[in-house]
Amino acid sequence: MKQHRIFSILAVSLLVLVISMPAIFAAGGKEAQPAADKPIALRFSWWGADTRHQATLEAIELYQQRNPNITIEGEYGAFSNFYQKLLTQLAGRTAPDIITVDYKWVSDLMNQGAPFVNMNTLTGAIDQSGFDLTFANIYGGKDDYLIGLPVGLNGMGYLYNTRFLEKYGVKSSDEWTWETVIEMGKKVQAADKTKYLMYNNAEHWVYLIKTMLKQINGNTLLLDNYELGFSRNEMLQIFAYIDTMVKTGTVPPFNEGVLYETVYADQNPNWLNENFGIFPTSSSLIPGIAKASNFTVASMRYPVAKNAKDPGILVTPSMFLTVYKQSPNKEAAAEFINFFLNDEEAIRILKDTRGIPTNSKAKNILVADNVIPQVVSDMVSQALTGVGAAENGPSLNPEVIALTKDFVQQVGYAKMTPAQATDAYMRELSALAKTIQ
């Protein structure tokens, strides 16, 4: 009996030892070093693809050469799943020191206790003079708190196939209204029944609704107090417009487009094979689409209604650079951000891999060097002529967006008339607003 007990105690203590071993070793490694020039390891996470990865790694390399005591480890990957991973890391308090954050996550993250250092407290470490801080605050701020610094600028516009528009006698201009879109849509259909003026993917239909709404009454879908931002008549007008787009053949029938509703034009065979000529997109996607296309692309301003209350065109920061609150090396992280956004050499290395820089200093350098693709800068400057009011947290809520997509489908597939869809949408959106409040 006694032997038995001794054995159990031994077994348990052995188990404890094995399990805690890595912790012991980890603790042993963290011995305090003298303050000056002690080696610092920073972690920096971002999403992107090859061009961005390579440019960023090159900039990091340069920084490490200049600061031999600092090593920066990049944690990079694709955009999809980036947010899930970030949330897990935040929950486990293991997030990197420097984190890239999308503007769509900002209000969500703020509600979770704002796990990033207030940028307004880092003015000493980071030169923010080149940044439009009003713009930064609209998307990344709340009261006196700013989540990070916006790196690039994104604008919404119509990307078009020049050859296609010419062939069907569609004249591009920066003065299009929603009526022009339908008129041109009919023109293309009259010439060839199998061709369509444009294609909106699922994501874009939501932008269309939001933009039209801002043009009608200046509101977002849900107001800050979670009330509906529209009357029945106003939403009916929008759903009726979507219905008209489908019925006139301005956009392809929904059952034809469904396969490609989650991808962009570079993966849409109907764009590549020139079955439609306009793809509404945000400027950051242009380089990929342009490279995939066998024809010249150009950009025109997003449609704005005649007496628009707010031109409503979506202009957003492409991403924020933030410093993690739990980071042991906040100052070093801030210094690196300063280098990343303001250093001339770094700017020349990074170019426009994160969109057109919001930092005017960086933008001027790149414009002088002539490295920003013409059509990207066109779309951004066209969008800047009609910047809409910023989106708010409630309207960016993923459930709200999913619900809106559903109702676009109801109208698009003619399962509901615009009037039915409006009533049902208002009912369900109000109910949803109560649960997410």
Partner 1 sequence: MHMARFKKTTKITISYIFLAIIGILMVYPLLWMISASFKTNNEIFSSIGLLPKEIMWNGYADGWRGSGQYSFSLYFSNTFMLVVPTVVFTVISSLLVAYGFARFRFRGKKVLFALVIASLMLPNEVVIIPRYMVFNSLGWLNTYLPFIIPAAFATYSFFIFMLVQYVRSIPRELDESARIDGCNSFRILYEIILPLTKPAIISVIIFQFVWRWNDFLNALIYISSVRKYPVSLALRMSLDVTDTISWNQTMAMSVLSMLPPVLLFFMAQKYFVEGISTTGLKG
What tokens does 387 get?
């910047």
Among 133, 258, 292, 298, indicate the residue that binds partner 1 (CB under 8 A).
292
Query: Measured between alpha carbons, how far is residue 338 from residues 98, 122, 126, 165, 341 in Å?
Result: 12, 10, 5, 44, 5
| Number of chain positions touching partner 1 (CB under 8 A) | 51
For residues 80 and 86, give the distance between their C-alpha atoms in angstroms, rounded to a whole number: 11
Task: Answer yes or no: are the C-beta atoms of 315 and 156 closer than 8 Å.
Answer: yes
- Write out the two tokens for 35: 């303050």
**Cα 434 to the center of its chain, rounded Å:** 26
CA 266, 267, 268, 269 dihedral sign is positive
> Contacting partner 1 (CB under 8 A), which of 3, 65, 80, 194?
80
Between residues 80 and 307, which has the closer beta carbon with respect to partner 1?
A: 80
Burial-class residue 281 by CB neighbours within 10 Å (0-12, 13-18, 19+).
Answer: buried
Pairing of strands 149-150, 320-323: antiparallel
Comparison of 266 and 310: residue with beta carbon closer to partner 1: 266
Dmax over CA atoms of the chain, in Å, equals 96
- Is residue 31 a contact residue for partner 1 (CB under 8 A)? no
**Is residue 92 a contact point for partner 1 (CB under 8 A)?**
yes
Q: Which is nearer to partner 1, 58 or 399 (CB)?
A: 58
Out of 172, 215, 284, 327, point to the residue binding partner 1 (CB under 8 A).
284
Answer for which of 8, 88, 123, 385 binds partner 1 (CB under 8 A) is 88
Please work out, in degrees rounded to the nearest 5, the angle formed at the alpha carbon of residue 27 by the alpha carbons of 21 and 29.
105
Paired sense of beta strands 196-198 and 276-282, if any:
parallel
Q: Cβ 25 to partner 1, closest distance in Å? A: 8
- Which residue's CB is nearer to partner 1, number 75 or number 183? 75
CB of 94 to partner 1, least distance (A): 6
194 binds partner 1 (CB under 8 A): no
- Could you tell me if 157 and 382 are in contact, meaning their C-beta atoms sit under 8 angstroms apart? yes
- Mask for 116-155, x = binds partner 1 (CB under 8 A): ----------------------------------------
State the nearest-atom distance from the C-beta of 83 to partner 1, in Å.
11
> Binding of partner 1 at residue 268 (CB under 8 A)?
yes
Binding mask 348-387 for partner 1 (x = CB under 8 A): -------x--------------------------------
**Distance between CA atoms of residues 237 and 47, nearest Å:** 38
Among the candidate windows 47-55, 298-306, 366-374, 410-418, which touches partner 1 by CB under 8 A? Answer: 47-55
Task: Report the C-alpha gap between 249 and 251 in whole angstroms.
Answer: 5
State the residues that interact with partner 1 by CB under 8 A. 19-20, 22-23, 25-26, 43, 45, 47-54, 57, 73-81, 84-85, 88-89, 91-94, 96, 264, 266-269, 272-273, 284-285, 287-288, 291-294, 355
